[in-house]
């Protein structure tokens, strides 16, 4: 995929193993910190995995035993992103923006940017979604979570990002309490729309929306 315009580079890693992608993220963060590359939005799909965030007691929300996870082909790993436990797998778009927010130094504002990008993208496909007070991510009717959000920051270079469910195996969420939420469920674009979605088209829309929303976010403080 090519850059939407001069501001954001759009990169697609294809399908990756989580540890490999994490290592690639960290390398990109170093390059961005040294101003050896531009801000970028990186797309990938991960092999099935449960990632445990930094939130206290997040590991307690793993329901399946290690044996059961292995039997189903799902790895389990600790992550340095914020948030609880979540699932990544094929059919889910992982967005890793590796961007400098030095001009704003406002992590909450940046999280709002990520949420806004997903909300606008879903709207373009006919899905109405929103934030949920006191909870992270993007929700439909305040009950069904369609996108998880969790970021890390190093010297005001952000990494990690969002995981948008297009058509993942939803049964894999049965092995965890997703994001520690006990009063909601998990959904996907395919479930909501009841028809096939071209994941490439969703990536293209995410790229367009991210370029616009992130640029507005940075420009406001220049």
Q: Which residues have a catalytic role annotated?
A: 179
Q: What are phi and psi of 187, to 5 degrees?
A: -140, -175
DSSP string covering 26-73, please?
A: HHHHHHHHTTSS--EEEEEEEPSEEEE-SSTTGGGGB-S-HHHHHHTT
**DSSP 3-state of 103:** coil
Q: CA–CA separation, 162 vs 133, rounded Å?
A: 18
For the chain, the straight-line distance linking the first and the last C-alpha, in angstroms and rounded, comes to 29
Sheet with 49-52: list strands edge to edge. Answer: 75-78, 49-52, 85-88
* Residues 154, 160, 166: CA angle, nearest 5 degrees: 165
What are the strands, taking DSSP E only, across 79-187? Answer: 85-88, 92-100, 130-132, 135-140, 144-154, 157-165, 185-186
């Amino acid at each position: 995929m090519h850059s939407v315009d001069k501001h954001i580079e759009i990169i697609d890693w294809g399908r990756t193993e989580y540890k490999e992608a994490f290592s690639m993220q960290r390398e990109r963060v170093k390059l961005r910190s040294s101003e050896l590359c531009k801000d970028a939005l990186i797309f990938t799909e991960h092999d099935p995995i449960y990632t445990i965030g930094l939130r206290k007691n997040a590991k307690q929300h793993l329901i399946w035993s290690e044996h059961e996870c292995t039997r189903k082909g799902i790895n389990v790993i600790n992550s340095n992103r914020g948030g609880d436990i979540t699932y990544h797998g094929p059919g889910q778009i992982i967005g890793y923006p590796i961007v400098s927010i030095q001009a704003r130094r406002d992590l909450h504002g940046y999280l709002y940017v990520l949420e806004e990008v997903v909300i606008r993208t879903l709207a373009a496909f006919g899905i109405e979604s929103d934030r949920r007070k006191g909870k992270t991510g993007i929700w439909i009717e305040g009950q069904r979570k369609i996108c998880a959000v969790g970021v890390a920051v190093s010297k005001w270079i952000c990494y990690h990002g969002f995981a948008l469910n297009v058509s993942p195996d939803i049964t894999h969420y049965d092995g965890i309490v997703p994001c520690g939420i006990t009063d909601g469920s998990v959904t996907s674009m395919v479930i909501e729309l009841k028809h096939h979605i071209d994941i490439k088209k969703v990536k293209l829309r995410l790229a367009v929306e991210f370029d616009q929303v992130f640029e507005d976010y940075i420009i406001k403080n220049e």
